[in-house]
């Protein structure tokens, strides 16, 4: 069972400012409880197959210049920088 | 001027000089102005469309080379980048985002003289299956405007179905092309994973999503696929299709083909009308010389849970890029600490996206990953094995695209699991990378039913041939709007 504290913790990790965490509780709990059906899938011994792409099939790691000043399309640009809040 | 023509008919009409691109484009925009207040398919309409049409007419008159689309008006789901055009993803987060480059599918269609008539509505960041989660309001089903048009590519399906364009591009992560195609009575195609480049498609769940066309006919889908499929150096998941011509041989028929009826998609929860329509489709396929028998894929019953676990996890990661610093909406940075600025800015995500990000943070987290994410990945692997095994015996698989009829707007919005289960017949193709198509088949009580066919990876051509054969057995009424 998901708790309000867990939702608060996860939303902090996901960087989402949520005013009222309990607002999400019921639906998130319903969804996560539904996901419990995976327990009965009997897939414990199953191997996870992942597609592999050989490195020679990847495009060359080359600099491709953009034909416009991309930075000027940014929200908070100043000169050659994007402005960000203080860390 | 008849707007109710297919893409191939349009091209023929333009080539023979029966219509001009400008006339057709102007009439299409008039149609949008006439019906879109009711339907809300479009988020923006291309102000330069008439000028672009005029230029194509000039090229035709002067005997210059003209691209294969001949100025065909196409709508584009608003999660694909068109240079210097707003690409909102139906989200307040990207309300003013203007794309600095073209998606590969857009560059390919531009080269073929397509006209992008407008950007169409969707669920925010493609997370939904009704368009009710668009930050700019839902689209309506042109067959009955009290009902959902399906989603997330709802605007695409509505625009094709109601003659506001000839074809559309949508994206399909768990059925987002096929579901609205079924609900609005258009053809909707999800190709083999990797057949169409995703470069310039705003990412939701990269490992399973694909761009796909929505059209009036199967031949139009084959035509579109000819233009947009193929390897792309900007998307290393693309595969080489050796410039396959999907239109060539499309009338080959399906005599002697073996079709598996997926048992798990024909049972519990299926509407009797949908079941009856599917049985009718099976009979018609048998009448065309195919043999049909049942096949079980028992992982299907876990597929929805696996799908939402995987997609929420990928979405949680993909959406981390929206920090509102480089692009986004106007929110000054002064007076904020770095993390609090980002968290505050991300409040502009809608409730469904926020919910999925919370789930996407929860299911792969330490202490929960083994129970949810890893099991979901194992279900995906086992389902892929099962479907590969089925394709050793069968050429194609069949099931209804959606187990129920289009439902009323608001009917399922507060019941997430019931809403998720609408995807039960479509997510299998995404989880396994197989191509699948929804073919308009029947109208019952004024609402459409689509039939889904699936094929093995890279058997897209065979799939289109079978879909065309089935399509030829039905005559459907016109959309009542």
Q: What is the pLDDT of residues B140-160, one digit of tens each?
A: 999 999 999 999 999 999 999
Per-residue pLDDT at A66: 84
ipTM computed for the complex: 0.93
**How far is the alpha carbon of A79 from chain B, nearest alpha carbon, in Å?**
14
Q: For the residues B49-56, what does the mean pLDDT come to?
A: 98
pLDDT score of B432 more than 90: yes
pLDDT score of B217 more than 90: yes
Per-residue pLDDT at B120: 98
Q: For the residues B207-212, what does the mean pLDDT come to?
A: 97
Share the mean pLDDT of chain B. 97
Q: For the residues B151-175, what does the mean pLDDT come to?
A: 98
Stretch among A58-72, B200-214, B296-310, B350-364 having the lowest mean pLDDT = A58-72
Per-residue pLDDT at B223: 98
Q: Which residues of B touch A14 (CB under 8 A)?
A: 316, 320, 357-358, 360-361
Catalytic residue among B134, B152, B161, B171: B152
**Which domains does chain B carry?**
7-256+405-471 (3.90.1300.10)
pLDDT score of A1 more than 90: no
Q: Give catalytic status of residue B77 as yes or no.
A: yes
CA-closest candidate to residue B320, choices A81, A13, A74: A13
Share the mean pLDDT of chain A. 89
**How many whole angstroms separate alpha carbon A83 and alpha carbon B136?**
29
Per-residue pLDDT at A43: 97
Neighbours of B136 (CB within 10 A): 18
Cβ–Cβ below 8 Å for B330 and A13: no
Q: For the residues A48-64, what does the mean pLDDT come to?
A: 83
Contact B52, B115 (CB under 8 A): yes
Q: Give catalytic status of residue B162 as yes or no.
A: no
Q: For the residues B380-409, what does the mean pLDDT come to?
A: 98
In this complex, how many residue pairs, one in chain A and one in chain B, have their CB atoms less than 8 Å apart?
156
Per-residue pLDDT at B411: 96
Query: Residue A87: which pLDDT band, with cuts at 50, 70 and 90?
Result: confident
Is the minimum CB–CB distance between B354 and chain A shorter than 8 Å?
yes
In chain A, % of residues over pLDDT 90: 48
Per-residue pLDDT at B419: 94
Residue in B101, B309, B417 closest to A30 by CB: B417
Give how far the C-alpha of residue B52 lies from the chain's centroid of Cα atoms, to the nearest Å.
26
Is the minimum CB–CB distance between A79 and chain B shorter than 8 Å?
no
Per-residue pLDDT at A80: 84
List of long-range contacts for B367-376, beta carbons under 8 Å, 24+ apart: B371/A38, B371/A39, B372/A32, B372/A35, B372/A38, B372/B309, B373/B309, B373/B310, B373/B313, B374/A48, B375/A38, B375/A39, B375/A41, B375/A43, B375/B306, B375/B309, B376/A35, B376/A38, B376/B305, B376/B306, B376/B307, B376/B309, B376/B310
* ω into B364 cis (within 30 of 0): no
Contact map slice: B 200-259 vs A, CB within 8 A: 233-234, 236-237
Q: What is the pLDDT of residues B83-142, one digit of tens each?
A: 999 999 999 999 999 999 999 999 999 999 999 999 999 999 999 999 999 999 999 999
Per-residue pLDDT at B392: 98
Measure Cα distances from B295 to B260, B397, B460 in Å: 5, 9, 21
pLDDT score of B449 more than 90: yes
Contact map slice: A 10-49 vs B, CB within 8 A: 10-18, 24, 27-28, 30-32, 34-35, 37-41, 43-44, 46-49
Per-residue pLDDT at B224: 98
**How many whole angstroms separate alpha carbon B40 and alpha carbon B159?**
9
Per-residue pLDDT at B98: 93
Per-residue pLDDT at B349: 96
Per-residue pLDDT at A33: 96
Per-residue pLDDT at A49: 82
Copy the structure tokens of residue B112: 């073929």
Stretch among B268-272, B277-281, B285-289, B386-390 having the lowest mean pLDDT = B268-272
Catalytic residue among B134, B153, B168, B176: B176
Cβ–Cβ below 8 Å for A46 and B381: yes
**How far is the alpha carbon of B324 from chain A, nearest alpha carbon, in Å?**
8
Three-class HEC string of chain B:
CCCCCCHHHHHHHHHCCCCCHHHHHHHHHHHHHHHHHHHCCEEEECCCHHHHHHHHHHHHHCCCCCCCCCCCEEEEECCECCCCCECCCCCHHHCCCECCCCCHHHHHHHHCCCEEEEEECCCHHHCCCCCCCCCCCCCCECCECCECCCCCCHHHHHHHHCCCCCEEEEEECCCCCHHHHHHHCCEEEECCCCCECCCCECCCCCCCCEEEEEECCHHHHHHHHHHHECCECCECCCCCCCCCCCCCCCCCCCCCCEEEEEHHHCCCCCCHHHHHHHHHHHHHHHHCCCEEEEECCCCHHHHHHHHHHHHHHHHHHHHHHCCCCCCCCCCCCCCCEHHHHHHHHHHHCCHHHHHHHHHHHHCCCCCCCCCCHHHHHHHHHHHHHHHHHHHHHCCEEEEECCCCCCCECCCCCCCHHHHHHHHCCCHHHHHHCCCEEEEEEEEECCEEEEEEEEECCCCHHHHHHHHHHHHCCCCCCCCCC
pLDDT score of B442 more than 90: yes
Give how far the C-alpha of residue B69 lies from the chain's centroid of Cα atoms, to the nearest Å.
20
- Predicted model pTM: 0.97
Residue matched to tokens 């897209």: B460
Q: Which residues of A touch B424 (CB under 8 A)?
A: none
pLDDT score of B271 more than 90: yes
Contact map slice: B 358-387 vs A, CB within 8 A: 358-363, 365, 371-372, 374-382, 384
* Residue scoring higher pLDDT (B421 or A82): B421
Per-residue pLDDT at B416: 93
Q: Is B333 exposed, middle or buried (0-12, 13-18, 19+ CB in 10 A)?
A: middle
Per-residue pLDDT at B86: 96
* Strand pairing category for B447-455 and B396-400: antiparallel
Query: Nearest-CA residue of chain B relative to A30?
Result: B417
In chain B, % of residues over pLDDT 90: 96
Per-residue pLDDT at B145: 98
Q: What is the pLDDT of residues B360-389, one digit of tens each?
A: 999 999 899 999 999 999 999 999 999 999
In chain A, % of residues over pLDDT 70: 100
* Residue scoring higher pLDDT (A86 or B8): B8
Q: What is the pLDDT of residues B179-193, one digit of tens each?
A: 999 999 999 999 999
Q: Give catalytic status of residue B279 as yes or no.
A: no
């Amino acid at each position: 069972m998901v708790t309000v504290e867990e939702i608060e913790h996860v939303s902090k990790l996901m960087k989402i400012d949520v005013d009222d965490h309990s607002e999400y509780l019921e639906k998130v709990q319903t969804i996560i409880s539904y996901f419990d059906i995976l327990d009965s899938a009997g897939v414990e011994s199953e191997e996870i197959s992942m597609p592999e792409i050989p490195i020679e099939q990847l495009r060359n790691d080359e600099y491709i210049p953009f034909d416009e000043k991309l930075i000027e399309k940014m929200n908070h640009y100043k000169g050659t920088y994007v402005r960000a809040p203080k860390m | 001027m008849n707007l109710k023509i297919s893409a191939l008919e349009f091209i023929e009409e333009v080539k023979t000089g029966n219509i001009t691109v400008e006339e057709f484009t102007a009439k299409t925009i008039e149609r949008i102005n006439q019906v879109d207040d009711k339907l809300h398919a479009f988020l923006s309409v291309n102000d330069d469309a008439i000028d672009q049409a005029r230029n194509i007419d000039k090229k035709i008159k002067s005997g210059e080379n003209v691209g294969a689309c001949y100025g065909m008006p196409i709508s584009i789901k608003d999660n694909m980048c068109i240079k210097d055009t707003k690409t909102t993803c139906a989200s307040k987060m990207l309300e003013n985002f203007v794309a600095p480059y073209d998606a590969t599918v857009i560059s390919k269609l531009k080269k073929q003289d397509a006209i992008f008539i407008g950007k169409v509505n969707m669920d925010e960041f493609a997370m939904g299956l009704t368009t009710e989660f668009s930050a700019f309001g839902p689209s309506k089903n042109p067959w009955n405007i009290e009902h959902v048009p399906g989603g997330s590519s709802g605007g695409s399906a509505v625009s094709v179905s109601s003659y506001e364009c000839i074809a559309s591009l949508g994206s399909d992560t768990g059925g987002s092309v096929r579901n609205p195609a079924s609900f609005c009575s258009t053809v909707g195609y999800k190709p083999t994973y990797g057949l169409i480049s995703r470069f310039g498609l705003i990412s939701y769940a990269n490992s399973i999503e694909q761009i796909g066309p929505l059209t009036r006919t199967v031949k139009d889908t084959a035509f579109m696929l000819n233009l947009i499929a193929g390897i792309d150096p900007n998307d290393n998941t693309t595969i080489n299709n050796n410039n396959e011509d999907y239109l060539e041989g499309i009338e080959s028929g399906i005599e002697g083909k073996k079709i598996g009826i997926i048992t798990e998609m024909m049972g519990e929860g299926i509407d009797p009308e949908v079941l009856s329509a599917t049985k009718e489709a099976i009979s018609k396929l048998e009448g065309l010389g195919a043999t049909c028998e049942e096949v079980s894929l028992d992982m299907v019953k876990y597929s929805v849970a696996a799908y939402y676990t995987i997609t929420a996890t990928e979405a949680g990661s993909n959406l981390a890029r929206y920090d509102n610093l480089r692009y986004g909406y106007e929110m000054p940075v002064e007076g904020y600490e770095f993390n609090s600025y980002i968290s505050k800015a991300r409040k502009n995500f809608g409730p469904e996206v926020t919910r999925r990000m919370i789930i996407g943070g929860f299911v792969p987290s330490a202490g929960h990953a083994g129970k949810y994410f890893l099991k979901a990945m194992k279900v995906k692997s086992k389902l892929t094995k099962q479907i590969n095994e089925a394709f050793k015996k069968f050429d194609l698989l069949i099931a209804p695209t959606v187990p129920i009829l289009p439902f009323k707007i608001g009917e399922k919005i507060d019941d997430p699991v019931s809403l998720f289960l609408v995807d039960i017949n479509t997510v299998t193709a995404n989880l396994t990378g197989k191509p699948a198509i929804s073919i308009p088949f029947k109208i019952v009580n004024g609402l459409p039913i689509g039939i889904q066919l699936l094929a093995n990876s890279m058997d897209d051509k065979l799939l289109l041939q079978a879909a065309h054969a089935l399509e030829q057995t039905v005559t459907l009424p016109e959309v009542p709007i």
